[in-house]
Structure 1
Amino acid sequence: MFLLLAMLTIVTACGNAGNGSSGAQSGAGENTEGESLRDIKVVLDWTPNTNHTGLYAAVDQGFYKEEGLHVEIIQPGQAGADTMVASGEVPFGVSYQEGVTQARTQGVPIVSIAAVIQHNTSGFAAPADRNIKSPKDFEGKTYGGWGSPIDSAVLDTIMGLEGGDVDKVKNVNMGDADFFTAIKRDIDFAWIFYGWTGIEAELRGEAIDMFYVKDYSEKLDYYTPVLISNEKTINEDPELVKAFMRATTKGYEYAIEHPEEAAGILSAAVPDLDKDLVLASQKWLSPKYQDDASRWGEQKAEVWQNYSDWMVEHGLLDQPLEVEKAYTNEFLPTE
């Protein structure tokens, strides 16, 4: 259980550093007089960002309402989105393949029902002036992380492939500092999501070198983030899951086809966000939601197997993952 908590800390913190913003926002649509809509909530993994645009678009464009749903988008409590969904407090949430994998092997009944982004857009970023041109150059540098075993395991993997030694990296806990604060203070590189922090660096005019983890091992090209539900909801109320996914799919398809309009929807729903960052991030991310998949949300068994195998190899799992129970494509629309 300690490892699960540690991993949830790293993915949440990485979401903060790479995809975060301040302030909570409820994106619920309004009931129209005379209509009977079912109230449900979906909990985010962190603060709102462009990973979540499809949810906000589905609210704004009335896609949930068309399915008879009144959806409120909420932020996670202290326990986190995985716990809220697993306990049945909310039926749907945003999570990560890392967290779902660890949770499933510990008997936590959450299930991934869609991949929000088809390929892993995270990696290690360093200011260009640190002269880090390959993972081997991490040697002698200071990494800003959150003290999770997964940090060292990923660093060990990609550095080892380049002939580097992870033991020669100094680790510093970033705490609540964001990437831009930390690199000016006491670190040389950190793990970010390019679609948010990398784009922000572009807008700031701060050159960075980016090392996407998926480029070094196919086992690290996992789904992050994903949409999750729990086994109870799936087994007892499959029509709800189907309705939610039909509408959510339309929301992400809208964001794929209309990135500028979708960015406007997110900015209107969450006015604390930097509008220029939201727009630039959305333009970068929209084509990556579906990418080379046959449809938005599609998940592949080999992606789940590869990553769980990697976790076992690095002692991050107590037992192998039952892949077929960790995810499903059953609720994705076929047309």
Structure 2
Amino acid sequence: MRRRLIGGALAGALMLAGCGTADDDSSSGSSSGGTTAVKLQLQWFVQAQFAGYIAAVDKGFYKEQGLDVQILEGGVDIVPQTVLAQGQADFAVSWVPKALASREQGAEITEIAQIFQRSGTYQVSFKDSNISSPAALKGKKVGNWGFGNEFELFAGMTKAGLDPGKDVTLVQQQFDMQALLRKDIDAAQAMSYNEYAQLLEAKNPATGQLYQPSDFTVLDWNTVGTAMLQDAIWANSSKLESDTAYQETAVKFLTGSLKGWAYCRDNAAECRDMVVKKGSKLGASHQLWQMNEVNKLVWPSPSGVGLLDEAAWKATVDLALTTKNQDGQTVITKQPAGTAYTNEYVQKAVDALKSSGTDVTGSSFKPETVTLKEGGA
């Protein structure tokens, strides 16, 4: 397993080796020069999905809180909530159903902020496949990434009365859209901010021009009614219960993070540039699309950015309890035990930002119109 570390005064990316273990000598939570060292584990590679945290480092928002934050890059073989539970990070970003499954298996973690208020997962097909509803997936070759990314897809099929193990042919999909473009599969999993853009950056051989949204049909789980909560910030449950210093650090970390997200809402192009500079392999137009689409998932946040809506939590838990995979297993088997989430710390962060003049709701947010270039250049 390999991770990359970015943040603080680091220019570029340093490779870290080991299963959830950084190869630097700093210890999480230690103080140096009046600052507290903090490690944040991402759930994927550096991209605009995590721009708020990158901006908080680059613009000094964490430093304002007395924190020296190092961002640990994720990857295919990294489970962020496990890294957190093992004590190799202080906080982690993870989708809620994945983290709930890990909690049921013994990971002592608690959600302390819900950054994405909406799901960004699509199931995309060519329009001529006539897959306009989950029910129309019956008998089709349906791509999905696995690794817990497929829960909303299975929930959509379950709601439509389909058995994922019998009524469709499930295909292990790579983390790109090539199988759909080759028409090896009928429907592909895509994030609104990433893989869907890859389709629109590809050239249509029939026209010689880039594909257009009108060439595809999108199943959006927010519309279908099987959306589950995605990017949330998780903390160590035991430390939240007993470590006053950790509790204070959590509030400071959230304050800096949320300020970063507010900054990226208002400065999308600049945040795109920060992400590209950090070494993302995705191009500039792709990253601006991603920044814009991610902002749509975060903003507006009527109650305050990062605050968890209890109805959305309940809906996610209910789906995790009832959605069956191809083997008939559910995401979790019982209601989450203990303190699975709390708004205590993020409310303090929101209050602090609001009192300092930061717009914490984004009620006037309007997304940009982004023009994609071939290959996302």
The partner residue of 2:238 within 232, 238, 244 is 232
1:146-157 alignment, distance < 5 Å: 146=145, 151=150, 154-155=152-153, 157=155
In the superposition, relative to structure 1, how do residues 134 and 280 fare at CA in structure 2: closer, same or farther (>3 Å)?
A: same
Contact 2:152 2:227 in 1 (8 A): no
What's 1:117 paired with? Answer: 116
Aligned partners of 2:61 and 2:5: how far apart in 1?
Answer: 17
**Structure having greater relative contact order (Cα 8 Å, sep ≥ 6):** 1
Aligned partners of 2:118 and 2:52: how far apart in 1?
Answer: 17
Whether 2:44 is the aligned partner of 1:28: answer: no
What's 1:15 paired with? Answer: none
In the superposition, relative to structure 1, how do residues 147 and 58 fare at CA in structure 2: closer, same or farther (>3 Å)?
A: closer
Whether 2:229 is the aligned partner of 1:215: answer: no
Structure 2 counterpart of 1:239, which letter? Answer: E
Aligned partners of 1:147 and 1:228: how far apart in 2?
Answer: 22
In the superposition, relative to structure 1, how do residues 286 and 316 fare at CA in structure 2: closer, same or farther (>3 Å)?
A: closer
Offset, 1:79: 5.0
Aligned partners of 1:94 and 1:42: how far apart in 2?
Answer: 8
1:45-73 deviation per Cα after TM superposition (whole angstroms, max 9, x unaligned): 01112220000000010011111111111
Contact 1:51 1:116 in 2 (8 A): no
Does the residue aligned with 2:193 lie in a helix, a strand or coil? helix
Structure 2 counterpart of 1:325, which letter? Answer: T
Aligned partners of 1:137 and 1:263: how far apart in 2?
Answer: 37
Offset, 1:216: 1.7
Structure 2 counterpart of 1:272, which letter? Answer: K
Aligned partners of 1:108 and 1:191: how far apart in 2?
Answer: 28
Whether 2:320 is the aligned partner of 1:311: answer: yes
Aligned partners of 2:72 and 2:149: how far apart in 1?
Answer: 28
What's 2:14 paired with? Answer: none
Aligned partners of 2:36 and 2:240: how far apart in 1?
Answer: 17
1:146-197 deviation per Cα after TM superposition (whole angstroms, max 9, x unaligned): 467884x6445434655666533111222x4522245416211122211111
The partner residue of 1:293 within 289, 295, 302 is 302
Farther off after superposition, 156-165 or 293-302:
156-165
Aligned partners of 1:49 and 1:150: how far apart in 2?
Answer: 18
Aligned partners of 1:68 and 1:114: how far apart in 2?
Answer: 20
The partner residue of 2:191 within 182, 190, 193 is 193
Contact 2:93 2:231 in 1 (8 A): yes
Offset, 1:107: 3.0
Offset, 1:38: 2.2
Contact 2:43 2:74 in 1 (8 A): yes
Does the residue aligned with 1:187 lie in a helix, a strand or coil? coil
The partner residue of 1:263 within 266, 272, 276 is 272
1:53-96 deviation per Cα after TM superposition (whole angstroms, max 9, x unaligned): 00000001001111111111112474521111012111011111
Q: Which has the larger radius of gyration?
A: 2
What's 2:340 paired with? Answer: 326
Contact 1:105 1:317 in 2 (8 A): yes
Identical aligned residues as a percent: 23
Uncovered stretches (5+) of structure 2, i.e. residues with no partner? 11-31, 203-209, 324-329, 355-377
Contact 1:179 1:190 in 2 (8 A): yes
Contact 2:97 2:331 in 1 (8 A): no
Aligned partners of 2:104 and 2:298: how far apart in 1?
Answer: 27
Aligned partners of 2:56 and 2:149: how far apart in 1?
Answer: 34
Aligned residues: 306
Structure 2 counterpart of 1:46, which letter? Answer: W
What's 2:92 paired with? Answer: 93
Does the residue aligned with 1:295 lie in a helix, a strand or coil? coil
Aligned partners of 1:146 and 1:282: how far apart in 2?
Answer: 22
Contact 2:123 2:153 in 1 (8 A): no
